[in-house]
Structure 1
């Protein structure tokens, strides 16, 4: 499968410019899906597609045993700290939604609220996108909203520019950037681990019940870049170093009573370990309380799960993605984490005419139905602009 892994990440890098349209960490094109579909078609023949019964709470040591079945929305720091918060609170109050995933360290690497914590300001760059973080947490509590702090880990343009030694440097001495102008920091650097864990600790002390780590990986197609870049590394594999960070973070946060969750490529449940970027679905799942695969129908290519255009078949696509997730995680038995996928509440018009459909209540409901039938009762809705469908049956 090494040939297909290489093709996959090369193609991913080529189309990564689409990422800005939805602002999340996923594989994003029908081209990508076609490569993997061809690679896996033969191996999937004859395999059972039945879903096993779920573990309601995968970790017997769940630090939040009284947490609700989370049905949440993504909220940017701008929305959380601005006028849009009022309408989002109204949406949650009037529907079955009950949680918000809020940027505490965003996709650029900014800490999104004012902090005087020297452990954070030594390496981080705070911005007052959320003017009063304490007031925000009190508001969420008053509305009985389960608060989740999203921390973007290794994609960190701000830290990379301020500390090139923690990033990847080109032959000319410049900090490496991807096609979107984003830079990453190096998972082999323990200082990066401790910095992100320090942010998580402060979020926990502020009142967040869960820490959600995103971009827990190396850059796309890293196996093709590594030899031309200068960076610190050890003999440990990329997969192992990423998994080690997750376990380390969970251990450090355990005394604070917060859950640890990780966002991961939806494709990761359907493919072998992605050695290039260091993501192994099972190894990462072993180190968290909650795993959140990003299974947006728009991000699977033609032919996935038997669908010509997966975006136009939200129910079937989610069912297929969950069947693959079960195959990965059911062998973990009682140690498997809570499965809480990210699903789609946006229209993927960039797929081109006849390859997408407008997403509204029916499409969101279809995804939720597929999750329930797969034994999954938790989900998160993604819309980069935080515009969600109030008519859906959450």
Structure 2
């Protein structure tokens, strides 16, 4: 009611900030240190603190790589660090412990690489508001838990930046982000939807590998140009449709393997390469429409999905790789385009609902187990006038007595007399 006024007169009383990650709204000791770059050690001493005993600290002013070295190597009890109001000064090299330490780039407002590598005591970090980039392995093997907020203005998160930490909360990425390096969040335990800013252009290999607690729909950035192998592999909590953006023309190996998405897969027509196991073990449903520009389709790509209906393979392919379409639920027919010379081992194995296959005139070899256990297969139409070589196990567990092989009229006798096709009882001319 105005009768009393409280005035703080001692600098030993730290400002009470809204820094939940630093003091969690509890009245614990929280050291606030104002310093200049390269002098954090002196500033802590001037505030009458023992740096070996400080647990929770907020730093203001400016710091550089040497100060990060102090925090990492000389503060064994540091558990919570607030750098919200800090400016980072870049240096080419600095003296620490009597030795020169080298920095790869002297840039301001960049978190140095390896700055908290293996800092297991550090469980909480508030990053600077003015930050441009997080260099590789900055928090590799640290002890960070809970949530992580990457501030606006950050354009790049380096390789292995947060690998092997114990996050269990929310990951917040800035709208300014352009690149996330390889293994940046590998095996992180974040429990939240994965909201990728639309401006991201590159996601590195293994970036979110085995982040099983991420959930919701995976929406890839519309400007994504480069995706690394295994980028989302094992993110089993993600569900729904997957739309590949127009800007991405190469799908790397294992990029979406074993995510269990379960929705529909939408591939645009300009994709040229799909590397091995890119979409395997996802339970995708609906028809599979392969890109018209596809020239490279490696093995295991669509294994263990629930695609249905007929589908056509684009004309640019020269072979059907091993296990490419195994364990799928295709119904209807599969047409192999002219130009394909080989159907490799187990390519369509266990596609139990496939009813008809159309083989091109260019085909030379049907390899081991290529159509193993295709129990519903009833028609094979061969366009080649020269009977392709068929591995003796290519059609194992297929009811050959119920299967009709349709061949060119001029090649009917050649098929009937061919050792490769001797097991087929119903060979007729078209």
| Greater strand proportion | 2
TM-score of the superposed pair, with normalisation by structure 2: 0.23
TM-score of the superposed pair, with normalisation by structure 1: 0.24
| Greater helix proportion | 1
The structure with the largest alpha-carbon Rg is 2
